[in-house]
Structure 1
Amino acid sequence: MPPRQAFTGSCRKLVFAFDVGTTFSGVSYCFLDPGQVPVIQGVNRHRFPAQEHVGGDCKIPSIICYDPDGAVRAVGAEAMQEYIEEEIEENGWVKMEWWKLHLRPKTMVSSHITDQDIPPLPPNKTAVQILADFMRYLHECAEKYIEESQANGADMLRSVEHTTEFVLSHPNGWEGPQQAQIRNAAVMAGLVPDTPDGRSRIHLVTEGEASLHYCLGSGLAVDGFQDDQGVIIVDAGGGTIDVSAYHMTTAPSFEEIAPAECRLQGSIFLRFGNENDPAYIKFGTIKDKDINFNIRSGQLKLMGSDVAPLFEPSAEAVIEAIEEQRHVATKTISTVFLVGGFAASEWLFTRLQSHLRPLDLNFCRPDSHTAKAVAEGAVAFFLDHRVSARVAKFTYGTRCATQFDRNDPQHKLRASMAIPRPSGRTVLPNAFSAVLTKGTAVSETKEFRKDFITEVVDRSSCDMIATEIVCYRGDSPNPRWTDTEPACTQDTSKVAHTISPRRGYAGLQFYRQEFSIVLMFGLTELEAQLSWKEDGIERRSSATVVFDQVVEAV
């Protein structure tokens, strides 16, 4: 990879990256000084409160405790201290773990995980509020770390108070609704003000793409991008396993070559190394002991051979995801990189190695610090922006009406649903018109557009036009109807402009509006707009709310 270039901005900036995981979280940051080459740094775990004796080199537990009034009382390693258990028992505190999974899209395949498997949320607290409280804590600790570890740290922070950028990572499977929740949580946490300028300083990146940037920064991943071959990045975390595939077009630019995957099969229950070694589960204090049940010093001893089957579903999920990526990727896969907290498991590494080596695939972990891959990679994503094209994971389009065709068998079956239009034409409702199809490679600057019309007899109905952007999740390569195919509303747009009356059936006066739906999916978030012409000039409207009105595909 070419070396990172000096920052060309006119004033100092600060970039924070928060990797909020199901079990552990971390922070990385970078000061951008004009003329200087940026250096990514991590907030050392020892600088977080009560973290001095907790394992790991860069992360804290994703745990937060609330009192009965909903006030935050302990976060991270503080929440794991013994006295906290007394407070929970005596004063009704609530200890929240795995709360991030409450944000998961309900559309994700997760039959093995239900809301009943996750600790319930405290009264009067949403998952978004918990995320906000946790990010506020990370931000406060990160700023304190900078103040204490860097010369003139306090002055440096004051100089970037209004120019700090935040990169927030999320699993590959998190979609528009979850991205909106993350943005709202960042505002609630006070990271940025609730203004267009403030929200523009929030940047989202998938954990898969952040991991790619980390692997590239490690220097070892570059060798995997040879001879037009592709690589797969497996980010194995506590709650999710994110799998992405890329290939290098022209250095240093990369393209996604398969729809990214996300599986809810992380190492959420146990840490496990080798089936030949025993595993220990700490559940009490050093005084807890029962030799008959292999309990000593507050730890339950289990045979490794008994624990290994518990992890087999996770390994199988990773293998299945890798094989799916290999199957749909547009380039031959030559290398697989394993990162994330679960990557530290020697058992998982060995299990995957035994599957991949016979397939003549290179398989490795970039280095011994895979747990910090997402946080550091998220900063590198902001600085280097290596990925120029991504693959659409779903088909996006809109509900509309389509002109009735008597020769189409499906139209004949729906003849009773036909609707006459003011112009004299007959249409069928509940049609689906795809704008962006699954598997399409989308560059950052490419737009996807489709034209539509709507006809009304009441001029006042033309003051506002709205249409839904629908996400189709089924397997059909050409979904045609929204009443028989699974879909969900993703986004909406609206538009108003001046139009002239027309004459239709039997001289009926009506109004026709012509507009286009425009989708942009070059970054990690889908953007939707409506486009129309007014006095020959194109106008556009950003996404807003849903209104019911029939539109037709042109």
Structure 2
Amino acid sequence: MIRNRREKRVRYRSKREIVVCIDIGTTFSAVSMSILECGQPPRNSNIQEITRWPGQNVPSIKVPSIVWYNAEEVAKAFGSDDEDCLILEKIENEHWTPVVWWKLLIRPGHLQFLPALQEAIPGLPEHLDIKVEDVFRHYLAYIRSQIERHIIDSNANGREIWEDAKSHMTIVLTTPNGWEGITQHRMRQAAMDADLTKDGAKIKFVTEAEASILYLAQTGKIDGWLHRNNYIAMCDCGGGTIDITAYKVSASSSPGKLRLEEICYPRCCIAGSVFVNRMAEVWIRDRLKNTMFDDEVSIKRLLVSFEKSSKPSFDGEKPYVNLALGAYMTERAKDIHNGNLRISKKEMVTFFEPCRQAIIQGLEEIISIPDKPVKRIVFGGGFANSKYLFSEVRKWAETKGVEIARPDDPLEKSVTNGGIHWYLNSTIVGRMAKFHYGIEGDANFNPADPDMRGRETLVDMAGEKKVPYVFFVIVKKDTTISVDKEASAWFYRAFTDDCDKTVSLVLWAYRWGVPPKFMKKPGATKLDDGFLRICTVKGDLSKFYDASPYHESLNPDGKMFKYLQYEACLMLGDTEVRARLKWRSETSKKPIYCEASIGYD
């Protein structure tokens, strides 16, 4: 079982280990870590956070997710570096280019996107010949340098710890809901290129919402809701995304025994707090046009003030909020009063409205699940600090008879600390299938089957006619996938001695209702709408082939051949896909396994 393997690996490790959780946010990032000593059980009190980032005047858990590039496209500054006056001078004098919101550029293409916010995401600067993977790599390399500095500076034997464990660190990367497959692969590759680890298997993934609820469960703040058979939802409101996940408590909240099971597929909508900022920016630029404050320095200063003060403090009650302009003047047509840019309550509400609607729509879907009454919602994430947003969600909750809680623990560390808890303790025992999952394969041609007429056919090594592009469903949509159990499908294929024994199976997801038997229509060049390629499963069947008997007859080429009936076994209930292939001989009940690799295109 996956749970038992993880508990055994952590509790009985044979060498010192560093576990690091990195939360790359759209606007801010954070890092937590735990140093696990040989022969000692992990303790939650051992979790450390990086709170001293370069450039920061005031220590903080979070650091801006910004990278500055010079004219030669070299990453020269990161995070809070611009708070250092000397670096800020270089940024301005040498015209370094800031890259922001780059996390959203790696998002899966099928994610829900509010039309009102579609144009708000900036792309990479056109004059820079860089890819989003480059930005990830550069920023993660910066993160690695700060991990090293923190361990050495903040622990009595820090240098010894770092030198002893740096080569085999476990890295937990957090992602929004639904950022799977190819997105995880791109992030894993960036982490390896940044020298966080050379072993891709040491990089794990957990969703931000899952990490958040695990952290809050450890604090004891939601113990009153964590009773067996209760239903609870986590709404994680971040800078870029809104992530909502609902669980059934399948075991009590007693220490070390909490078990949660997803009851529906996790929601993710790109409607986080940055879009409030962007709508405010459009309004501010319009108001300050053709005034003495119509310059980038003034506008940037106002946007920082809006982000740090006006946005979180706005409660929807006061008639307006003020942004200090730095010069005493009044120009009512521009909403400038006594040296302040005045934003009316009506305008502020307009900035929040698309995000508010997205959150409430997602929560409406969660509480409407038949026979699974979700009446308790945990509200978290950096955006949850907004007084107005929380008050609006609470008003909605009261009309639905739903309880809502916003624990007062530092929300900035809930994801990274929760990621450490996730690694050390297997709390999630089941996840809900968001799509139909299946494997592409071939079927024996049956001329009597009307669905096979007009389709292309292939001839295998044994001379049998096959029809390709068959969708073999292994997990149906909206079913619970246990983290401990495999989903599988059987395949039947002929091989000769001189052919390659490596097989490649493509795992697909189908998004809509009932999946079709075939993945495309007769004569079509494209797959039907709704199919998403997840990954390719590869395995070497040589071990199976060597243990199998030859077929009694020869194939059409006069060669001896063997039929192999093997099973593709996939673990789909964890945060990443894992696979292996299984074969059982006719004379032995004991199966033979071979590991399979997961590849992403």
Shorter-chain TM-score range: 0.7 to 0.9
2:374 to 329, 333, 338: 333
Q: Is the 8 A contact 2:228 2:249 kept in 1?
A: no
Aligned counterpart, 2:265: 259
Aligned counterpart, 1:179: 184
Aligned counterpart, 1:366: 407
Aligned counterpart, 2:571: 520
Residues 305-454 of structure 1 mapped to structure 2, 5 A cutoff: 305-328=346-369, 331-403=372-444, 411=451, 414-417=452-455, 419=457, 428-454=467-493
Residues 2-41 of structure 1 mapped to structure 2, 5 A cutoff: 9-33=13-37, 34-35=39-40, 37-41=43-47
Across the aligned residues of Structure 1 and Structure 2, the Cα RMSD in angstroms comes to 3.4
Identity of aligned residues (%): 25
Aligned counterpart, 1:237: 238
Instruction: Measure the CA separation in 2 of the matches of 1:404 and 1:124.
Output: 50
Shift of 1:275: 2.7
Shift of 1:454: 3.1
Q: Is the 8 A contact 1:15 1:30 kept in 2?
A: yes
Q: Is the 8 A contact 1:450 1:518 kept in 2?
A: yes
Shift of 1:300: 4.4
SS of alignment partner, residue 529 of structure 1: strand
Shift of 1:477: 3.1
Q: Tell me the TM-score normalized by structure 1.
A: 0.85
Residues 437-482 of structure 1, C-alpha deviation per residue, up to 9 Å, x if partnerless?
22222222201111112357x7644533322111222x22333221
Q: Give 5+ residue unaligned stretches, structure 2.
A: 1-6, 253-257, 278-306, 521-527
Q: Is the 8 A contact 1:31 1:39 kept in 2?
A: no
1:50 to 46, 51, 55: 55
Change (3 A) 1:139 1:544: closer
Instruction: Measure the CA separation in 2 of the matches of 1:89 and 1:296.
Output: 30
Counterpart of 2:443 in structure 1: which amino acid? Answer: T
Counterpart of 1:529 in structure 2: which amino acid? Answer: R
SS of alignment partner, residue 320 of structure 1: helix
Aligned counterpart, 2:146: 141
Instruction: Measure the CA separation in 2 of the matches of 1:217 and 1:162.
Output: 29
1:169 to 149, 170, 174: 174
Counterpart of 2:155 in structure 1: which amino acid? Answer: Q
Residues 217-232 of structure 1 mapped to structure 2, 5 A cutoff: 217-226=218-227, 228-232=229-233
Counterpart of 1:150 in structure 2: which amino acid? Answer: N
Change (3 A) 1:67 1:223: same
SS of alignment partner, residue 372 of structure 2: coil
SS of alignment partner, residue 417 of structure 1: coil
Aligned length: 530
Change (3 A) 1:150 1:425: closer
SS of alignment partner, residue 81 of structure 2: helix
Change (3 A) 1:502 1:125: farther
Change (3 A) 1:119 1:275: farther
Q: Tell me the TM-score normalized by structure 2.
A: 0.79
Counterpart of 1:528 in structure 2: which amino acid? Answer: A
Shift of 1:419: 3.2
Aligned counterpart, 1:102: 105
Counterpart of 1:440 in structure 2: which amino acid? Answer: T
Instruction: Measure the CA separation in 1 of the matches of 2:430 and 2:371.
Output: 13
Shift of 1:343: 0.6
Q: Give 5+ residue unaligned stretches, structure 1.
A: 548-554
Q: Is the 8 A contact 1:479 1:485 kept in 2?
A: no
Counterpart of 2:583 in structure 1: which amino acid? Answer: W
